[in-house]
Structure 1
Amino acid sequence: MHATANWRPLALGFRPFFLLGGLAAFVLILLWLGTWHRAFSAAAYYGRVEWHAHEMLFGYTVAVVAGFLLTAVRNWTGRQTPHGWALGFLALLWLAGRLLPWIPGVPGGLTAAVDLAFLPALAISLLPALRGVENRANYLLPVILLGMALANGLMHLQALGVAGTARLGMQWMMDLVLLLLLLIAGRVMPFFIRVAVQGADPRTRPWVERGTFVFALVLMAAHLGGLHPEITAVLFLVLAFLQAVRLAGWYHPGVWRIPILWILVTGYAWLTLSLLLRALADAGLVALSPAEHAFTAGAIGVSTLGMMARVTLGHTGRPMVPPRPMTWAFVLVNLAALVRVAGPLLYPSGYVFWILVAGIFWLTAFVIFLYHYTPMLLQARVDGRPG
């Protein structure tokens, strides 16, 4: 009876979705490594490369986004977000989208419909908590989620053989995740650093904040409009400069004494570097894949692991100090991104080797996360409060 009473997997959004996200991070990369060594075949519905891109963006990344927003919106507005059976339904809907492509005989239209339903359902589920709030920036969240659903639709159009739009869908999704990371980082990073680092006084420059979102939106429009890569290279370069200035304003050397903080700082550094590399790639100076993986494995991978670790501690009533082995997980996820990006740039002929090494680092990082955080995600808060 006591064990059952302490079981809280559906009490708040971060619980099921961070657990599913951690499992997805492990299983999806394990399967991806297997496809390189013919141990597995990717789900035929998408095609091998498209499956990897789709599942890391619309599977793993979206799971973490869902867990974060379902938790943060309740925190920001003081209003309840889905929990209990409603939250369980959302989690099962996400899971169905991951599993259906692997089941023989399932019509492609059904696979697409189920997977496409999740993001609109998530957006709609947040509306009651967002209605009438003073901070109008919160209204951008459902809009971004619906934009992600449209990007997902572009990938499914190609999977269904309707149109060759998977590449545009991937790019649009990365643009929207970039916008979301820019929004969330601007909201939480200065606060996190100010309260955790003695003597820190993070600076926010209005011209950098305005320029960040103007250029991020212009970049999205440029991709949708199919503008020449030389134009997007300039936009990426300006955005990289703005993020370097933004990060420099927040930075304090004291962050390196706090693992739960430096993991987020390194995640934002990866975001900045990814914008610079993408500018170089669009200018034809470096390959596109390492530039994109600086964003996906680096900015997304590092930032999401850090946020899952932090949010889980805070919302289970624990001190903001992760289990000591998590420091190794933070190091390993950064090493995974570094190997995945730098290896192919410096020694392209070792491409498959670099993928294997980066994958092993990534898998080890998430094994550490799952081992230490699964009990926290499933059990009641240690302080007895609801959530």
Structure 2
Amino acid sequence: MTTTARQSREWTGPALLSYGFRPFFLFAGIWAAFAMGVWIVLLTGRDPLPVAFTPTDWHVHAFVFGYLSAVIAGFLLTAVPNWTGRLPVVGWPLAGLLGLWLLGRLAVLIGGGWPAWVVAALDLGLSVALIAFLAREIFSGRNWRNLPVLGLMALFAVANGLFHMEAQQGPAQDGYGLRLGLAAVLMLIALIGGRIVPSFTRNWLAKRNASRLPVAFNRADGAVLALTGVALLAFVIAPYGAVTAILCLGGGLANLWRVARWQGWQTRSEPLVWVLHAAYVMLALGFVVVGASALDLMPQSGARHVWMAGAIGLMTLAVMTRASLGHAGLPLTASRPVAALYLALIGATAARLLAGLALGQVWLLHLSASLWILAFGGFALIYWPILTRPKRTAKPASRAQPA
């Protein structure tokens, strides 16, 4: 019987195509740094490329739908075979999926003079392929537990389509498409992050014989997820309403309570673990500041960046760094340079939030952008050899050692 591991080992081509996380995580990091560089140029008033949207819309889309689609693809193509026990996508089919993502990025980057439907179709190609892959795996493997993931992926694709439609009629940076896309991804973090953060923390603490372990998922977690979903729905429908503000503030406090039960403070000596907790805290704080912005207590843009750069950016960077090490057969521990990447991204989030509060302090925007480029450009550089070389296999035990 062919297993997931054997399927990957039997691929004799480039190691980059031996597992879904390898090409998509690498290109996600490269794109995140490159797109921020393009945004800095666009902010100066220069227009070196015929981007398909207005500069601000392009910036928002490049991160929420461009970067995230690559990370989600890498995660699902790696995790789903483990969930279902079915074979992974490797080799040239994997290269084809990467090609769909690259076509989408190219279309949005230089498709300013192209028909809008062509740009949208090319950009949505990967999402449609991923939904088909996920649906096939879930139904064939009868893995009904992950049907919500399929539903959220479908919402993410619909949100991208809405963004394209709204961008043709006017600014889409605060439209339904963006808000729906954000809501779908944030709900994925609450759902999947709520599984992996306490699970990885429990494993790490158990190896160290800790007396207190993360609380297992229970009805209280289900209630927090329900409140999170309702708050996000309100954000999509009426982002500036008083009811939305109350729900978001409640959702933020509820998620802070939830993450506090996972014993994150005990993991402060291992960045690869505490960064997961920090990212989930950013999710909770994002609800709080977005709720405050709905009450006109702070600017909406700076508040949303706590979600976009903090919760989404930090959680995806945390997952990419951890999953890449684990699947490459390397020790699950973060080096000092990798820990510095986490701190750079936290700094980028803080600087962007302060830039929204201290209007006119442009240097804060430049600081935030520079720290972002450092975080993701650094990830691409540090992880390039990990993602492009074959998996390290354990050396066989010597004969003098017991079996």
- TM-score normalised by the chain length of structure 1: 0.92
Output the CA distance in 1 between the equivalents of 2:31 and 2:169.
26
Alignment of 1:155-194 (within 5 A): 155-161=163-169, 167-194=175-202
**Which residue of structure 2 lines up, in the alignment, with residue 215 of structure 1?**
227
TM-aligned CA deviation for residue 126 of structure 1? 2.1
Farther off after superposition, 60-69 or 316-325? 316-325
User: Aligned AA for 1:159?
Assistant: A
| Alignment partner of 1:365 is 2:375 | yes
State whether residues 157 and 163 of structure 1, in contact with CA within 8 Å, keep that contact through their aligned partners in structure 2.
Answer: no
Cα 1:83–1:124 change in 2 (3 A) is same
**Which residue of structure 2 lines up, in the alignment, with residue 151 of structure 1?**
159
Alignment of 1:219-368 (within 5 A): 219-226=231-238, 229-345=241-357, 347-350=358-361, 352-368=362-378
5+ unaligned residues in a row in structure 1: which ranges? Answer: none
**Which residue of structure 2 lines up, in the alignment, with residue 196 of structure 1?**
204
Farther off after superposition, 252-261 or 275-284? 252-261
Provide, for residues 77-117 of structure 1, a one-character-per-residue CA deviation record: whole Å limited to 9, x for no partner: 22123222221111111111111131464322211111122
Farther off after superposition, 124-133 or 360-369? 124-133
State whether residues 18 and 64 of structure 1, in contact with CA within 8 Å, keep that contact through their aligned partners in structure 2.
Answer: yes
CA RMSD between the two structures: 2.3
Cα 1:119–1:344 change in 2 (3 A) is same
State whether residues 208 and 242 of structure 1, in contact with CA within 8 Å, keep that contact through their aligned partners in structure 2.
Answer: no
State whether residues 81 and 126 of structure 1, in contact with CA within 8 Å, keep that contact through their aligned partners in structure 2.
Answer: no
Provide, for residues 278-301 of structure 1, a one-character-per-residue CA deviation record: whole Å limited to 9, x for no partner: 110111211101110000011111
Number of residue-to-residue matches in the alignment = 380
Output the CA distance in 1 between the equivalents of 2:238 and 2:371.
36
TM-aligned CA deviation for residue 359 of structure 1? 0.8
Output the CA distance in 2 between the equivalents of 1:223 and 1:344.
19
Identity rate of aligned residues, in percent?
31
State whether residues 329 and 368 of structure 1, in contact with CA within 8 Å, keep that contact through their aligned partners in structure 2.
Answer: yes
- Among 111, 116, 137, which residue is 1:108 paired with? 116
**Which residue of structure 2 lines up, in the alignment, with residue 374 of structure 1?**
384
Say which SS state the counterpart of residue 360 (structure 2) adopts.
Answer: helix
- TM-score normalised by the chain length of structure 2: 0.88
Say which SS state the counterpart of residue 131 (structure 1) adopts.
Answer: helix
TM-aligned CA deviation for residue 19 of structure 1? 0.9
TM-aligned CA deviation for residue 333 of structure 1? 1.0
**Which residue of structure 2 lines up, in the alignment, with residue 34 of structure 1?**
41
Output the CA distance in 1 between the equivalents of 2:50 and 2:300.
24
**Which residue of structure 2 lines up, in the alignment, with residue 53 of structure 1?**
60
Cα 1:6–1:97 change in 2 (3 A) is closer
User: Aligned AA for 1:380?
Assistant: P
Farther off after superposition, 165-174 or 67-76? 165-174
**Which residue of structure 2 lines up, in the alignment, with residue 131 of structure 1?**
139
State whether residues 60 and 173 of structure 2, in contact with CA within 8 Å, keep that contact through their aligned partners in structure 1.
Answer: no
TM-aligned CA deviation for residue 156 of structure 1? 0.7
User: Aligned AA for 1:180?
Assistant: L
5+ unaligned residues in a row in structure 2: which ranges? Answer: 1-10, 396-403
Output the CA distance in 2 between the equivalents of 1:153 and 1:6.
35
Output the CA distance in 2 between the equivalents of 1:120 and 1:50.
22
TM-aligned CA deviation for residue 11 of structure 1? 1.3
TM-aligned CA deviation for residue 14 of structure 1? 0.4
- Among 10, 13, 17, which residue is 1:10 paired with? 17
| Alignment partner of 1:91 is 2:92 | no
Farther off after superposition, 31-40 or 158-167? 158-167
**Which residue of structure 1 lines up, in the alignment, with residue 3 of structure 2?**
none
